Amino acid sequence: MQNVLVTGGAGFIGSNFVRYLLNTEMQVRVINLDALTYAGSLENLQNLPGPARYEFVKGSILDRELVDEILQKFDIDTIVHFAAESHVDRSILGPQAFVQTNIVGTFTLLEAARQLWVHGGSGRSKRVRFHHVSTDEVFGSLDPDDPAFSETTPYAPNSPYAASKASSDHLVRAYAHTYGLPITITNCSNNYGPYQFPEKLIPLIILNALEGKPLPVYGDGQQVRDWLFVEDHCEAIRLVLQKGVEGETYNVGGGNQPANLEIVQTICDLVDELRPDASLEPRRNLITFVKDRPGHDRRYAMNIQKINHDLGWSPRFALADGLRNTVAWYLDNPGWIAAIRQQQEYQGWLDKNYNSR
């Protein structure tokens, strides 16, 4: 890795990866391509380490001319593709954007990389890699006693978001098989940590608990997710880029399976401890059960034996430690929260999604 294009690097996981890469790979130059839609913000990229090795380009992965220009101008040898519409709730209310960004956008990037690295021959004189960041949701839902998802689990996506990511995964593999494009894929479980857009479960609960607002929990709250601290995800991707076998897929997960209600209750207790307010405690009393979302997957779990055995990766952050760090970060960064909340579309969407239930 010398010149890395990160797509969607102003979003939650992408911005954490940009920061992580600049901190750990001192010879790497990072080009960040992001359209700055609702979930991407330059606020996520303040005070980056190694600013001389970083450049931001505002634009869409759907813009083939721009993508071609970036690949050639910066002599890109590595693409780390985060850019995606990623919220299941939004995909239920408006699936078209998910098809365009997640499928057509990935296709645009693949075509540009193929043209330059394979057809044009520039990739033959150096090591190049197209790394695609995907999700555990492509595998569908697990029953309580089912084994965890492995890299060979058949795809069975249940939401428009999951279906669009499954489609992009298939495209990436097809370009490797048909054209010889050097690729790797990671399918990752639910991430949490700093800079996550505050409509997602964990930051939403933190901020509502802090402000004494209702804490919406879908259905009975017994949906099970495998939670991973975002820095652990960044480390996994870096390791796959360095040591992963071309053409391979690696599952990445946190190795835990709490129910959503347990996550919400833990956050309530942490906010009570770190920001006590007698008028609001215990904040567990703010929990409000709302109508479940359509087609809500019941359980996800990731088998991470392959990446652990082949590459030596395992998560460093226990869930309790990661949640404490995350709650503390949101409590300590009111300026970031205020800047994100200035987006009118953010509050409007929250009202539409939760109040209608």
Q: Which residues are known catalytic residues?
A: 136-137, 161
DSSP letters of 18-80? HHHHHHH-TT-EEEEEE---TT--GGGGTT-SSGGGEEEEE--TT-HHHHHHHHHHTT--EEE
Q: Which residues of 249-259 are buried (b: 16+ CB within 10 A; e: fewer)?
A: bbbbbbbbbbb
Which helix or strand (DSSP H or E) is residue 239 part of?
helix 230-243
Helix (H) or strand (E) holding 130: strand 129-135
* 116-119, long-range: CB < 8 A, 24+ apart: 116/68, 116/71, 116/72, 117/181, 117/182, 118/179, 118/180, 118/181
> Sign of dihedral through CA atoms 251, 254, 257, 258?
negative
What count of other Cβ atoms lies within 10 Å of the Cβ of residue 178? 9
Query: Residues 235, 318, 208, 276: is their CA dihedral positive or negative?
Result: negative
CA distances from 245 to 218, 219, 240 (A): 39, 41, 8
Q: Where are the alpha helices (DSSP H) in 74-158?
A: 88-93, 96-98, 105-113
What DSSP line would sit under 190-213, residue for residue?
EEESTT--TTSHHHHHHHHHHHT-
The total of other beta-carbon atoms located within 10 Å of residue 133's CB is: 27
Instruction: For residue 150, give both structure tokens.
Output: 């492995």
Taking only Cα atoms into account, the Rg of the chain, rounded to an integer number of angstroms, comes to 20
**Residue pair 248/320 in contact by the 8 Å Cβ criterion:** no
CA 255 to chain centre: 17
- The residue behind tokens 């017994």 is 222
